[in-house]
Amino acid sequence: MVGQTEPEIFFDALGRNGVSLRADGESERLVAPFGAEFATRLAARKAELTAQGGLMPGAADTLAAVAAVKGVVQSVLTGSSRPNATLKLRAFRLDRYLDLAIGGFAGSEPYPKGALLRATRLRAEEKYGVSFAEQATIYIADSPRDVEAAKMGGATSVAVASGRASTAELREAGADLVLPDLTSPVQLIALIKAGS
């Protein structure tokens, strides 16, 4: 399921369980109630996020370091829905570094991540009244699919070999920079400053 959006996971589950994915749109109409129920159930288990989940090493420190760079706007582009992503980010207090109002949520918006990346950049430009160049837009990802989305969205891709994909797989996918983890933001900040 790495790199898949919530709707993709849902349709895959339907297919694996023998549910016909009909062309009349009936399957698509099931996505909204599924998303609402998923958000309700995840919210009910909110305490488990921090008790059983964990942050990628260095994630919070890296977000804080990047937030300190003048002119940088940080948001999120995720396969989760807006309520689920917000819940997860708040559980670990990462939302304080991000402008979630401009984010891209593939679980809530009917667009592939590459298109959502462009839409997120446009929302940021509208909100902040500045132009963000494609090459100065950096998408931090951990899967080859997300590296491809960065290319489609016209962004520089920084891939983190978090264990989901190897360094070699991320390089092969065409990542502009591959990091073993986020424990040191030095290379990332240098890349940000070079693009601005």
For 71-113, the pLDDT digits (tens) are 999 999 988 889 999 999 999 999 999 999 999 998 777 778 8
CA distance linking residue 99 with residue 74, whole number of Å: 6
pLDDT for residue 3: 62
3-state secondary structure at position 100: helix
Structure tokens at 186: 């030095």
Give the end-to-end CA distance of the chain in Å, rounded to a whole number. 34
47 and 87 Cβ atoms separated by less than 8 Å: no
Query: In the 8-state DSSP scheme, what is residue 102?
Result: G
Cβ within 8 Å of residue 36, ≥6 positions away = none
User: What pLDDT was estimated at residue 76?
Assistant: 95
Let me know: does 137 contact 121? Beta carbons within 8 Å: yes
Q: What's the pLDDT at 34?
A: 81
3: left (phi over 0), alpha (psi -120 to 50) or beta: left
pLDDT on residue 23? 64
What's the burial of 25, exposed, middle or buried (CB within 10 Å: 0-12/13-18/19+)? Answer: exposed
Domains of the chain: 6-195 (3.40.50.1000)
Q: What is the pTM of this model?
A: 0.85
* Residue given tokens 């369980």 in the structure block: 17
List, run by run, the mean pLDDT of 10-residue segments along the chain (196 residues): 72 79 69 83 90 91 96 93 93 97 86 88 96 91 91 94 90 96 93 83
Q: What is the pLDDT of residue 22?
A: 66
Q: Token pair for residue 81?
A: 């829905």
Task: Give the model's pLDDT for residue 11.
Answer: 78
**Residue 111 burial (CB < 10 Å; 0-12/13-18/19+)?**
middle
Compute the distance between CA of residue 42 and CA of residue 81 in angstroms, rounded to an integer: 11
Cα–Cα nearest to 8, from 118, 124, 126, 112: 112
